[in-house]
Amino acid sequence: MKKLIYVAALFMLAGSACKFNNSDNKALPIFGNRQPVTKTVNGKQVTDTIYQTIPAFKFVNQYGDTITGKSLDGKIYVADFFFTTCPTICPVMHRNMLPVYNEFKSNPDFRIISHSIDPKYDTVPVLKKYADKMGITGNTWWLLHGDKDATYTIAKSYLTSVQEKNPRGNYVHDGYFILIDKQKRIRGTYMGTDPAEVEKMTADIKTLMAEPDQKTAK
């Protein structure tokens, strides 16, 4: 009888562990800086958390169209930093990004933005040629040209999350993909040169798309 109770307890424990894992999978963590804000609601003090968001920006894409933070309103997106003459990690990163692009290109609520860190060379026509060579069409994947300092400034916001993950990795040229939600919060960082991490990112994008506040956000 005792044995039976032990076995039943073991099954219950295993069951609850599985449930816990499932609920864990339903929402991605939120990265970046955060601030607790206390406000009074109906006479009661409530503490809320304000998460870091990606600040406003203005760049130009491979079609010569102006792209701002507003262009990404209501979109879940992945950001990265690259340059077209990069012989090492960038070709690997973008080869790994292609399956992500192909998987989500028909989803109007998804974007990929790749900021060039070499605007002197990567002009709009150069970015268009690069896009054509990669087979990028339409508006799912924007290759962005802009002021070098503005690119490095916005990179700092994206890379806070990378610093959390790896305090030594603070460089724009590290090859990270950063997943941003519709509220412009950082929801994941992935090593773009590692196919396994990019596969995890694809799964995480699906998880994020299924989160209730992402489904309803405009």
Partner 1 sequence: MKKTLLILLSCSILCACSDKKAEKSAIMKDVMSVHEKVMEVDGQVIANRMKLDTLIKTNAITAKDTAVMLSKKLSTAEDAMEDWMHKFDYEQKGKSDADVITYMNDQKKLIMQIDSQLNVAVTESNLYLKKIKTK
Positions in the binding site for partner 1 (CB under 8 A): 83, 85-89, 118, 120-121, 148-149, 152-153, 170-173
Query: Which CB sits closer to partner 1, 33 or 170?
Result: 170
Rounded least distance, CB 87 to partner 1, Å: 4
Task: Kindly provide the b/e burial profile for residues 49-79, where b requires at least 16 CB atoms within 10 angstroms of the residue's own CB.
Answer: eebbbbeebebbbbeeeebeeebbeebbbbb
CA distance 124 to 84: 12
Rounded least distance, CB 150 to partner 1, Å: 10
Q: Residue 158's closest CA among 194, 195, 114?
A: 114
Query: Which CB sits closer to partner 1, 51 or 152?
Result: 152
Q: At what angle do helices 89-104 and 195-210 cross, to 10 degrees?
A: 30
CA distance 98 to 214: 24
Rounded least distance, CB 107 to partner 1, Å: 33
Query: Which CB sits closer to partner 1, 25 or 85?
Result: 85
Query: Which CB sits closer to partner 1, 89 or 209?
Result: 89
Note whether 59 and 72 are within 8 A (CB). no
Query: Which CB sits closer to partner 1, 69 or 169?
Result: 169
Rounded least distance, CB 153 to partner 1, Å: 8
CA distance 195 to 108: 25
Query: Which CB sits closer to partner 1, 116 or 140?
Result: 116
Rounded least distance, CB 118 to partner 1, Å: 7
Q: How far is CA 12 from CA 1, 33, 122, 204, in A?
A: 17, 38, 59, 29
CA distance 3 to 113: 58
Rounded least distance, CB 177 to partner 1, Å: 18
